[in-house]
Homo-oligomer: A and B are copies of this chain.
Amino acid sequence: MDQYAHLVKLFLQGLDQYRLSIAKSEPVELYQPEDYILGLGGKRLRPLLALIACDIFDKEPALALDSALCVELFHNFSLIHDDILDAAPLRRNHATVHKKWNTNIAILSGDMMLVKAFQALQNYSAEEFMQLSAVFSKTSIEVCEGQQMDMNFEKEKSVSEENYLKMITCKTAVLLGCSLQMGAINARGDKEDQTNLYEFGKHLGIAFQLLDDYLDAYAQTPEFGKQIGGDILANKKTYLLIKAYALANQYQRKELDRLINLDGTNSEEKINGVKHIFNELAVTSTCLQLADEHTRLAITHLDNVKAGESKKNHLKDFALELLKRRS
């Protein structure tokens, strides 16, 4: 991400300014959680994509700062509420908002951040504001839908590959596409370029999520930062498990059912057993292949953007680097 260090810095300066502007707002129970979660860090990938998309058309990246703030506020709103839904105690190694304060405050401060995401756009011209709001609200609804689909999957016996891909597209990928499109709107890119950048981000997001599923079971390095096999232990319906069920013969299906019903004391047997079936059915290579396909699709869309090759290559390198760190 070094090639974009200046853009990350630009965003963080803007974010600091925003945080300063809310520092004395009341009631503090509403604004402290907002400041807290915005201060927890993270890659700032979504705001960075907005700035990159503006920069790619040789426009001042600062033009996209409010769009960047909008998507970062939205992302953090969704983290606060998702952490309630998942009853998660930790976020980036710090207490989640509903743990540090309480669930009511987490609901309400999240609501407020969602409104503030829309409000962040209102310094743009009316025409730009309208275009930005349209793609942003469409995306926000899809993110809610994706989150609900993910919750539904937990209770469903079987999930189709199609629905799984739809879920990760909505829950993760469209916000990356939206961030890029918003930056392109700020740069006055035409509709075609906007769509190509949106699709680039969307397919990148899908590839990203598929690799995440793969890495959960097969990461070699501690860099990944999560427990290897965590998804398997939690019976999470990842692409690997969904595909394995779809391809399994009756014996493999029976064995998968048995392994899934194993309790926590047999975690090694469970992880190794499930991975053994993954290997038998070659679902890992299917997963990596599909991630590759979406990466290629992403790159094709980027290639079609009417912008300088050098900046497009930078973005391509950045995308591949992001994916590489996941494989």
Contact = CB atoms under 8 A, between A and B. Distances in A.
B85 A144 contact: no
B118 A137 contact: yes
A164 to B, nearest CB: 14
A115 B137 contact: yes
Interface in A88-130: 104-105, 107-112, 114-116, 118-119, 122, 126-127, 129-130
Interface string A120-150: 0010001101100110011011001101110
B114 A134 contact: no
A111 B82 CA distance: 11
B134 A29 contact: no
A224 B292 CA distance: 65
Contacts of A111: 81, 110-111, 114, 144
Contacts of A126: 126-127, 129-130
A174 to B, nearest CB: 13
Consensus secondary structure, chain A interface: helix
Given A26-B145, A107-B84, A144-B108, A122 B133 contact: yes
Contacts of A149: 27
A152 interface: yes
A30 interface: yes
A277 B104 CA distance: 34
B119 A141 contact: yes
B114 A148 contact: no
A140 to B, nearest CB: 4
A151 interface: yes
B144 A115 contact: yes
A104 to B, nearest CB: 5
Interface string A19-51: 000000011011000000000000000000000
A131 B114 CA distance: 19
B116 A118 contact: no
A111, A126, A127, A145, most chain B CB atoms within 10 A:
A111
A108 B146 CA distance: 11
A31 to B, nearest CB: 9
Nearest to A147: B108
A8 to B, nearest CB: 28
Given A84-B107, A116-B141, 7 more contacts: A27-B145, A30-B145, A81-B108, A111-B114, A114-B114, A115-B141, A119-B137
Rank and list the top 10 A-B pairs by shortest CB-CB distance, nearest first: A126-B126, A119-B137, A126-B130, A112-B144, A115-B140, A27-B148, A30-B148, A85-B104, A126-B127, A129-B130
